[in-house]
Chain A
Amino acid sequence: MNWLFNNLDVIGSAIVAHLATALPAIVLSFVLSIPIGWLANRFRWSRGFLLTVCALLYAIPSLPLFIVLPLVIGTGLRDSINVVISMTIYGIALMARSTADGLASVDADVRQSATAMGFSPWSRFWRVELPLAGPVLLAGLRVVSVSTISLTTVGAVLGIESLGSLFTDGFQRNIPLEILTGIVLTIAMALVIDLLIVLLGRALMPWTRPVPAPSRAVPAAKDAVVA
């Protein structure tokens, strides 16, 4: 137990570093998947092609990616930017399909009615299609968030600080408690971020909440009174 109390600063710094790497990657995956998802549904050829390419991104092994990426973009080997970019690539691999599916799930009647009312294609996308794809996007984002928070630890192998540093350090110095702390904190962080995403979704999509009362029982409705 001594190790834990003597190293709170190390743990705190690992948590901050982990968040600073994982959160931007989660946000970037989400944002960049929007145009990809849109494009996937836009043309007949684009869906299969784009989504297959995106899914294949997930097959890139992470350690080689951490090493090749700095060579390509000119960052240092231990720069956390490398992890952010790698995690974003994996995030897009998961998120692009959810976004494409979510956008495709929007009711054709609703889309047509939005057109008929005079939404321009641009505003129809942002104000109608994207919000209505929300529940599917949310489900995808939860997977991306958990996966990203877990994968971010791999950077520790190259000396990029994260909660993974607690595994590598604990392993090298044979401190089981440090390894355990790293594992528990990674899982806890994944759970907390997942919960925050669910709460955020609930706040942003009030129309998806369970319906309080069946419509017919509403006394305010003239239909209900007559029918």
Chain B
Amino acid sequence: MIEFRDVTKRFPDGTVAVDGFSLVMPSRKTTVLVGSSGSGKTTLLRMINRMVDLTSGAIEIDGEDTSRLAPVALRRRIGYVMQNSGLLPHFKVIDNVATVPVLNGVPRKQAREQALELLDTVGLERSIADRYPSQLSGGQQQRVGVARGLAADPNILLMDEPFGAVDPIVRSELQTELIRLQRELDKTVVFVTHDIDEAFLLGDQVVILQQGGRIAQVGSPTEIIEAPANDFVAHFIGAEKGKRALSVRATATGEILVDGDGRAVGVLVPQPGGSS
């Protein structure tokens, strides 16, 4: 569990990125921080592994105040995946994945073997192990980035817009893959995005942020869609434009679902094998 207690971040130039932020991110769940630029979402994420230091307040991981932990050691036990993969261009794929275990003192040979298994885990062929990152596609690089984030088997995985820079087809593939991985691995994931659909797709808990890291609403996707807390949230998730309010319209041959503007968005089918 990650707990933010009244956390504030003021940068040296005077801008307040985050002001009095309090939140509990439950263990083994995916918490998505979603907001537009300037909402402080990346700052919040980076405060967890102390890449950004707090001005005031506290962050606890499983009851341990992070300000008492050595930053370097803390970072080695928290996985981190970033946009544009952030892979080290001069390390082969296999060594990128093995980096953190090697830093932690695992013998290189053993770390490489584990890294090969991780390539399987994230759906990559082992044959790319000896390539350099520049020789991979964007989607492959992101998968390697995820494998690297998982390499030290951390309880916590921080993901900073990891799928922001890949094309839509690859993105949706990576999202599906992440859902599968999360089902298998049960990590505490903190995911930052500006894409509300991605937030609803991946988040157990979705945190909608306004400027300065103020929480507009926290809840499950269902709760937020059912009852947006205010106009900001309604606007942000598209409820106001009717994007989330669908209605059934009869056609010559059956029925379709249309949004508030009357655009066709899908069809209504019974949920396979389920109630509700």
Chain A positions near chain B (C-beta within 8 angstroms) = 107, 109-110, 112-120, 123, 128, 131-132, 134, 205-207, 211-213, 215-216, 218, 220-224, 226-227
Contact = CB atoms under 8 A, between A and B. Distances in A.
If over half of A's interface residues share one DSSP class (helix, strand or loop), that class is named, otherwise mixed; here it is helix
B135 A212 contact: yes
B137 A113 contact: no
A216 B128 CA distance: 12
15 contacts: A107-B89, A109-B82, A109-B84, A109-B86, A110-B89, A112-B82, A116-B82, A116-B86, A117-B99, A117-B103, A215-B136, A218-B137, A220-B128, A223-B137, A227-B167
A113 B135 contact: no
B73 A215 contact: no
A46 B131 CA distance: 38
B232 to A, nearest CB: 30
Q: 3 closest A-B pairs (Cβ-Cβ)?
A: A113-B86, A118-B76, A223-B139
Contacts of A132: 89-90
Interface of B: 49, 51, 72-73, 75-76, 80, 82-84, 86-91, 99-100, 103-104, 123-125, 127-128, 132, 134-137, 139-140, 143, 148, 158, 167, 169-170, 173
A211 B170 CA distance: 22
Contacts of A218: 128, 136-137
Contacts of B51: 112, 115-116
Given A128-B88, A221-B139, 14 more contacts: A109-B84, A112-B82, A116-B86, A118-B104, A205-B90, A207-B90, A211-B135, A213-B135, A215-B137, A215-B140, A218-B128, A218-B137, A226-B170, A227-B173
B125 A220 contact: yes
Given A114-B88, A116-B49, A118-B72, A211 B134 contact: yes
Nearest to B133: A207
Contact of B75 (A118, A131, A215): A118
A226 B173 contact: yes
Contacts of B132: 206-207
A46 B72 CA distance: 27
Contacts of B125: 220-222
A112 B86 contact: yes
A209 to B, nearest CB: 9
Nearest to A209: B132
A216 B137 contact: yes
A212 B51 CA distance: 36
A113 B173 contact: no
B75 A117 contact: yes
Contact of B169 (A113, A216, A221, A226): A226
B89 A207 contact: yes
B124 to A, nearest CB: 7
B124 A221 contact: yes
Given A211-B135, A212-B135, A227-B169, A222 B90 contact: no
